[in-house]
Structure 1
Amino acid sequence: MATTDHRPAIPDATIQQKYAEERHKRLRPDGVAQFLNLATSDKFKYLREDPWVDHAALNAQTPPLKNGDEIKFLVQGAGYGGLMLAVNLIEAGFKAEDIRLVDEAGGFGGTWYWNRYPGLMCDTESYTYMPFLEETGYMPRFRYSYGSELREHADRIAEKWGLTDKTLFRTNCHHYMWDDAEKRWIVHGTENRGPAEGNREIQLKAQYVLVVPGFLGFPHIARLPGFDKFRGEHFHTARWNYDITGGNPTHWNMEKLKDKTVGIVGTGATAIQAIPQLGNWAKHLYVFQRTPSSVDERGQHPTDPNEWANKIASKKGWQYARSKNFLSQFTMDTPIDEDQVNDRWCSTRSYCGFIGAPGIVSPDKTSEHVAALHSMDLERAERVRQRTTDVVKDPATAAKLKAWYPAWCKRPTFHDDYLPTFNKPNVTLVDTNGKGLDALTEEGVMANGTEYPLDVLVLSTGYSLFVENDSGSPVSRAGMTVVGRDGLSMDDKWIRQGSKTLHGVATHGFPNFFFTGPTQVALAVNFTHVLSALASHVAQILVEAERRVDQTERITIEVTEEGEDAYTAEVVKRATSFAGVGGCTPGYYNKEGQASATGPQEQAKEAQGNIWGEGPLKFEEFLNTWRAEGRLEGIEIKGNVM
């Protein structure tokens, strides 16, 4: 529910005023246009190139897909989401031989393939985050797994379910067209076989297409004057260059920085993990900050095998139960009595202002709902700000590192070493008072009117996310063009009609085409829980649809207009849960503070693009109820229906 009698009073007006002031100084007229998406940039494409791929080894393998192949299932994405889709298809009874995965990366892992920066670890407990721990029998080495372990686990999943030799890496399937006569998707892709062999164009036919757009896809950079003039070495954290720093993804001894002055731009979730490592090795480190992160303690430690065997993983179904217990903490009401995870995320219940919580907020209760969120967040926010004062010795630096916004405005971070790094004599915080950098010069960075000469510049400037796309469709953010029935492109449909799906996994006019959000599905702190629910949902839809026809060769499974309209209305009904996000400090959560749509028609389209407003567990419950009814309501199946 939105409110209860036992909640504390509305926070002091001075804090609210401080929040508003900090937001205002960061507003920019260019909004998301202040960033350049490296996926579409030829000039800066070197910043997105794959530093990890082994072209020779991959070229020596027999390709799992050849030009002209016809397959039953094509899964675009070989991170955790794509693997979970493939595994759920197999567990539902489909053959692994009928599945092929494609990915632009050179290996499994998705974000854990691309990101290998020093300090990288999962920011939620690995016991709930890492998929299929129970099925693989794997015990994570740490409570919060480091990047190399997360990448290794993706390989483990692929090997267990026989997907290693069924994945075509280095491949961008960029164009999909529905052939209504053949009831197949015609797929055009490009495989990058490296400098020795160049690109290979392929055309495929697929009966079903399943796309995982992902959340941390292509890195982006700020559009800064003078970027092409900077003569120092530079790279993005999503493509860390150990040739410049020294070390490697598992050993972070960056000895090449001992005599270098280093600057890092950004203080978000990535930077708070990389900065302590840079501070350990650089001769001097400048940290350029636009908006500070809220940094609570993490409490990292190795997994205790006895605790694992006797408490954590002692019962069948333990991982799902633990993940559900964790997500039950994020509610507007009093959390559950037993807290199995019991970390600082679990005391950040107000994050439900971004991911939703059980209960529908009526429009006339919006102000009351937002006030209740602020009240719930106040104690946490003050405690984290006090922690900054207690840890950082210099009062002026500590003041600049304090986050003046509630938990739902910018993903909270948790780290044991980040704040102490600013006590080191070789580390300097350059706070830009919300303005960001002025420009780059030949020698370094201009900030606050001062030039900072640098030998190495690290860009921790984030990623192009779904909120930044013109259409907001799941395929536009994946760099794809999808043309469905009657020549309609999915992007055009989204632009004209707004987001319209059934359960965030399919849309009318695009038969046999499925995706995993991100619009109109739930979000969660550990998003793999939602991906698991979506993967299972899609697999069960396919199983049930094929069960209903005696010849599946020409089957089509398509969302009806009535079905997507009814479901979209359910999403819109819950959209007021996110009323607090519009007033947040600029960031990717609210399109960098861009003005909201003003006309009624645009406001309606914007509401359609929301996520599920009652949180991940209610979303999962909604999907389970729909399937249990057994009608596949909102889906039309064509074929030889029994």
Structure 2
Amino acid sequence: MPTIINPDYDAVVIGAGVTGIYQTYLLDQNGMSVLGVDAAEDVGGTWYWNRYPGCRLDTESYAYGYFALKGIIPEWRWSENFAGQPEMLRYVNAAADRMDIRRLYKFKTKVVSAHYNEADNVWDIRLDDGACLTCRYLISATGPLSASAMPDYKGLDLFQGEAFHSSRWPTDADGKPRNIDFAGKRVGVIGTGATGVQIIPIVAETAQDLFVFQRTPNWCTPLGNSALGEEEMDLIKARFPTILEYVKTTPTAFPYHRDTRKTSEVPEKERNAFFEALYDKPGYGIWLSTFRDLLLSKESNKILADFVAGKIRQRVDDPEVAEKLIPVDHPFGAKRVPMETNYYETYNQPNVHLVDIKTTPIDEFVAQGAKIGEEIYDLDVIIFATGFDGITGSLDRIDIRGHDGVRLIDAWVDGPSTYLGLQARGFPNFYTLVGPHNGSAFCNVGVCGALQAEWVTQMLCYMKAGNYSYAQPTQAAEKQWTDAVYADFARTLMADTNAWWVKVTQKPDGTTVRRTLVYVGGGPEYRKRCEEVAYGGYEGFELA
């Protein structure tokens, strides 16, 4: 494919979260002209947008912080095992300062459209400020959970109180999150996923009444957060290289390995003691360190699910409320397991009311609150903790068109088709970091996204050295990869679950099609395959 014009930029990177700023930095360091674009006023990505009270990592801080582990900001010290949003934003800012990447970014700007220009082998980009530009390589780093999912409720515009999505927390005149005083207020929180379980206990501390509108309960387990002392942090800093190398060996880059035994191989007494230890252990151990058949065997999964259900019944005083908080529609770990702090105990407070909106949905909103059947719930504030349109949602909101004007959203209407989760045939020179079917979305993004940015940089440097300017997957390579991703996922208990990492499509004939958006083969296996591809001269890609 001949290159006819020199584009305005070698690359445009969409996103200024931890992955996007690192990708931008690496390309700049390798002598490429690069422009980063982000809708926010500054760097941070998810840590810029999600400023709700209680927002924090569910990954161990020291395992997430690639910029510290890699030596970009080696002096960084964490204050907690699971850092809160303000500390996370300071961390991203410190890394951005050290890498000096803000000079490469256009903030408060959205990419409206990106059309591949076949004649000139460039991407024509249009921004929401009216600017138009061209680039050779288009790289999305929009994050797996950045496209807010806001329900389209009837009458919401009539509500006279405050209403907002958790990822768009109200700000003051300086753009900082407002410290909303919930004292004396009637607050409604819609959603009990990972965000909801962080917000609910905080709001319940001061609200006059808190109504939790729950459609589907989730399996939640204790976060177990605590402060990091000076000596403990000194030891962690001394082990940064070891920590990085270790998490690269685990399936999800979390500091856990699965137990190699099957559940049935362990006597009940020993098994229960093992579950107790994992339940009391901070972080995702109960999900990621338990027996290897957790997500493969319904029988094994039920044993652990029953254990966690028992914990919920112990922690919630009202038996009827406890049962409503126990999932019956999905196995343990088949959806993201929200990490919580005193979430279940919150329902023991007299000012907290659980409202089941699965059996009796919200009909509409009226001036004074939510209407369910004939009952109106008077509210002053409504917080929508309703999650995100996962992984592909942000890309769906950009008019991306490849060969012959085919839209990406149409090409992926029944589920993504990619090679290595990094490119899709028909969309040359378009790379999707932490996108569908790659080794970063179902992973510790802080580490896995960075490793992927390094790989893409190496590929672009290889192309530059070889005088290549065009890359897209072969049809055979893409089909083989995509078929394998779908087949591996279908073997798991996650396949029948409506989680954010599954694209659910209702067909006109009434059938439901579920397509995974994530690769579940594990980080080490994924990176091994990527290195094999690279060593083979980027086998599976058409280079020209």
| TM-score, normalized by the shorter chain, greater than 0.5 | yes
Q: 2:390 aligns with which of 465, 470, 476?
A: 465
Q: SS state of the match for residue 292, structure 1?
A: coil
Call closer, same or farther: CA 1:533–1:407 in 2, change over 3 Å. farther
Q: 1:437 aligns with which of 333, 352, 362?
A: 362
Q: Are 1:291 and 1:434, in contact at CA under 8 Å, matched by a contact in 2?
A: no
Which residue of the partner structure matches residue 547 of structure 1?
465
Please state how far the C-alpha of 1:300 moved relative to its aligned partner. 0.7
Q: Are 2:295 and 2:301, in contact at CA under 8 Å, matched by a contact in 1?
A: no
Q: In structure 2, how many angstroms separate the alpha carbons of the residues matched to 1:318 and 1:154?
A: 19
Call closer, same or farther: CA 1:575–1:450 in 2, change over 3 Å. same
Q: In structure 2, how many angstroms separate the alpha carbons of the residues matched to 1:563 and 1:591?
A: 22
Q: Are 1:332 and 1:373, in contact at CA under 8 Å, matched by a contact in 2?
A: no
Please state how far the C-alpha of 1:175 moved relative to its aligned partner. 1.6
Please state how far the C-alpha of 1:84 moved relative to its aligned partner. 2.8
Please state how far the C-alpha of 1:575 moved relative to its aligned partner. 3.8
Which residue of the partner structure matches residue 409 of structure 2?
491
Q: SS state of the match for residue 222, structure 1?
A: coil
Q: Are 2:390 and 2:501, in contact at CA under 8 Å, matched by a contact in 1?
A: no
Call closer, same or farther: CA 1:455–1:211 in 2, change over 3 Å. same
Q: SS state of the match for residue 177, structure 1?
A: strand
Call closer, same or farther: CA 1:431–1:104 in 2, change over 3 Å. same
Q: SS state of the match for residue 529, structure 1?
A: helix
Which residue of the partner structure matches residue 83 of structure 2?
145
Matched, 1:527 2:445: yes
Call closer, same or farther: CA 1:113–1:623 in 2, change over 3 Å. same
Any idea what the Cα deviations from partners look like across 1:407-453, whole Å, max 9, x if unmatched? 23332112222222222222222233544323222221123642211
Please state how far the C-alpha of 1:330 moved relative to its aligned partner. 6.0
Q: 1:95 aligns with which of 27, 31, 46?
A: 31
Q: In structure 2, how many angstroms separate the alpha carbons of the residues matched to 1:595 and 1:103?
A: 35
> What amino acid maps onto 2:369 in structure 1?
G
Which has the larger share of helix?
Answer: 1
Q: In structure 1, how many angstroms separate the alpha carbons of the residues matched to 2:290 and 2:501?
A: 12
Call closer, same or farther: CA 1:151–1:370 in 2, change over 3 Å. closer
Please state how far the C-alpha of 1:181 moved relative to its aligned partner. 4.1
Which residue of the partner structure matches residue 274 of structure 1?
199
Please state how far the C-alpha of 1:306 moved relative to its aligned partner. 1.6
Q: Are 1:520 and 1:612, in contact at CA under 8 Å, matched by a contact in 2?
A: yes
> What amino acid maps onto 2:523 in structure 1?
P
Matched, 1:390 2:350: no
Q: In structure 2, how many angstroms separate the alpha carbons of the residues matched to 1:319 and 1:416?
A: 27
Q: SS state of the match for residue 514, structure 1?
A: strand
Call closer, same or farther: CA 1:144–1:419 in 2, change over 3 Å. same
Q: SS state of the match for residue 445, structure 1?
A: strand
Which residue of the partner structure matches residue 4 of structure 1?
none
Q: In structure 2, how many angstroms separate the alpha carbons of the residues matched to 1:322 and 1:572?
A: 25
Q: Are 1:350 and 1:408, in contact at CA under 8 Å, matched by a contact in 2?
A: no
Q: SS state of the match for residue 406, structure 1?
A: coil
* 1:376-415 equivalences in 2 (<5 Å): 376-404=300-328, 405-415=330-340
Matched, 1:560 2:466: no
Q: Are 1:504 and 1:518, in contact at CA under 8 Å, matched by a contact in 2?
A: yes
For structure 1, the 5+ residue unaligned runs are 1-67, 191-199, 358-368
Q: SS state of the match for residue 284, structure 2?
A: helix
Q: SS state of the match for residue 30, structure 2?
A: coil
Which residue of the partner structure matches residue 36 of structure 1?
none
Q: 1:209 aligns with which of 129, 138, 143?
A: 138
> What amino acid maps onto 1:102 in structure 2?
V
Call closer, same or farther: CA 1:80–1:540 in 2, change over 3 Å. same
Q: 1:621 aligns with which of 523, 528, 531?
A: 528
Please state how far the C-alpha of 1:167 moved relative to its aligned partner. 0.8
Call closer, same or farther: CA 1:170–1:351 in 2, change over 3 Å. farther
Q: SS state of the match for residue 208, structure 1?
A: strand
Call closer, same or farther: CA 1:296–1:434 in 2, change over 3 Å. farther
Q: In structure 2, how many angstroms separate the alpha carbons of the residues matched to 1:215 and 1:571?
A: 17
Matched, 1:631 2:537: yes
Q: In structure 1, how many angstroms separate the alpha carbons of the residues matched to 2:502 and 2:116?
A: 34
Q: Are 2:400 and 2:408, in contact at CA under 8 Å, matched by a contact in 1?
A: yes
* 1:15-164 equivalences in 2 (<5 Å): 70-90=8-28, 93-95=29-31, 98-134=33-69, 135=71, 136-137=73-74, 138-164=76-102
Call closer, same or farther: CA 1:211–1:460 in 2, change over 3 Å. same
Q: SS state of the match for residue 124, structure 1?
A: coil
Which residue of the partner structure matches residue 428 of structure 1?
353
Which residue of the partner structure matches residue 501 of structure 1?
418
Any idea what the Cα deviations from partners look like across 1:255-296, whole Å, max 9, x if unmatched? 3x2222111111111111111111112122111111222221
Any idea what the Cα deviations from partners look like across 1:90-146, whole Å, max 9, x if unmatched? 5xx5137x2220011111111111110011111121111233122211122111110
Q: Are 1:350 and 1:377, in contact at CA under 8 Å, matched by a contact in 2?
A: no
Q: In structure 2, how many angstroms separate the alpha carbons of the residues matched to 1:350 and 1:452?
A: 42
> What amino acid maps onto 1:614 in structure 2?
G
Which residue of the partner structure matches residue 7 of structure 1?
none
Which residue of the partner structure matches residue 491 of structure 2?
577
> What amino acid maps onto 1:201 in structure 2?
G
Please state how far the C-alpha of 1:582 moved relative to its aligned partner. 4.2
Call closer, same or farther: CA 1:634–1:419 in 2, change over 3 Å. same
Please state how far the C-alpha of 1:540 moved relative to its aligned partner. 1.3
> What amino acid maps onto 1:588 in structure 2?
W
Q: In structure 2, how many angstroms separate the alpha carbons of the residues matched to 1:133 and 1:113?
A: 19
Please state how far the C-alpha of 1:344 moved relative to its aligned partner. 4.2
Q: How many residues were matched structurally?
A: 516
> What amino acid maps onto 2:282 in structure 1?
D
* 1:354-365 equivalences in 2 (<5 Å): none
Matched, 1:236 2:183: no
Q: In structure 1, how many angstroms separate the alpha carbons of the residues matched to 2:18 and 2:345?
A: 33
> What amino acid maps onto 1:116 in structure 2?
R
Q: In structure 2, how many angstroms separate the alpha carbons of the residues matched to 1:416 and 1:505?
A: 36
Q: SS state of the match for residue 120, structure 1?
A: coil
> What amino acid maps onto 1:95 in structure 2?
G
Q: SS state of the match for residue 150, structure 2?
A: strand
For structure 2, the 5+ residue unaligned runs are 1-5, 263-273
> What amino acid maps onto 1:576 in structure 2?
A
Please state how far the C-alpha of 1:558 moved relative to its aligned partner. 3.0
Call closer, same or farther: CA 1:285–1:84 in 2, change over 3 Å. same
Q: In structure 2, how many angstroms separate the alpha carbons of the residues matched to 1:379 and 1:329?
A: 21
Q: SS state of the match for residue 186, structure 1?
A: strand
Q: In structure 1, how many angstroms separate the alpha carbons of the residues matched to 2:398 and 2:290?
A: 32
Which residue of the partner structure matches residue 287 of structure 1?
212
Q: Are 1:327 and 1:616, in contact at CA under 8 Å, matched by a contact in 2?
A: no
Q: SS state of the match for residue 446, structure 1?
A: strand
Q: Which one is further off, 313-322 or 414-423?
A: 313-322
Q: Are 2:61 and 2:83, in contact at CA under 8 Å, matched by a contact in 1?
A: yes
Q: 1:538 aligns with which of 445, 456, 462?
A: 456
Q: Are 2:21 and 2:96, in contact at CA under 8 Å, matched by a contact in 1?
A: yes
> What amino acid maps onto 2:419 in structure 1?
L
Q: Are 2:61 and 2:80, in contact at CA under 8 Å, matched by a contact in 1?
A: yes
> What amino acid maps onto 1:545 in structure 2?
M
Q: Are 1:100 and 1:167, in contact at CA under 8 Å, matched by a contact in 2?
A: yes
Please state how far the C-alpha of 1:577 moved relative to its aligned partner. 2.6
Which residue of the partner structure matches residue 266 of structure 2?
none
Q: In structure 2, how many angstroms separate the alpha carbons of the residues matched to 1:351 and 1:532?
A: 27
Matched, 1:177 2:115: yes
Any idea what the Cα deviations from partners look like across 1:354-394, whole Å, max 9, x if unmatched? xxx8xxxxxxxxxxx89843333334322322222222223
Which residue of the partner structure matches residue 288 of structure 2?
349
Please state how far the C-alpha of 1:331 moved relative to its aligned partner. 4.8
Any idea what the Cα deviations from partners look like across 1:61-81, whole Å, max 9, x if unmatched? xxxxxxx98122210111122
Call closer, same or farther: CA 1:409–1:435 in 2, change over 3 Å. farther
Q: SS state of the match for residue 19, structure 2?
A: helix
Please state how far the C-alpha of 1:517 moved relative to its aligned partner. 5.1
Please state how far the C-alpha of 1:596 moved relative to its aligned partner. 11
* TM-score (structure 1 length as normaliser): 0.73
* TM-score (structure 2 length as normaliser): 0.85
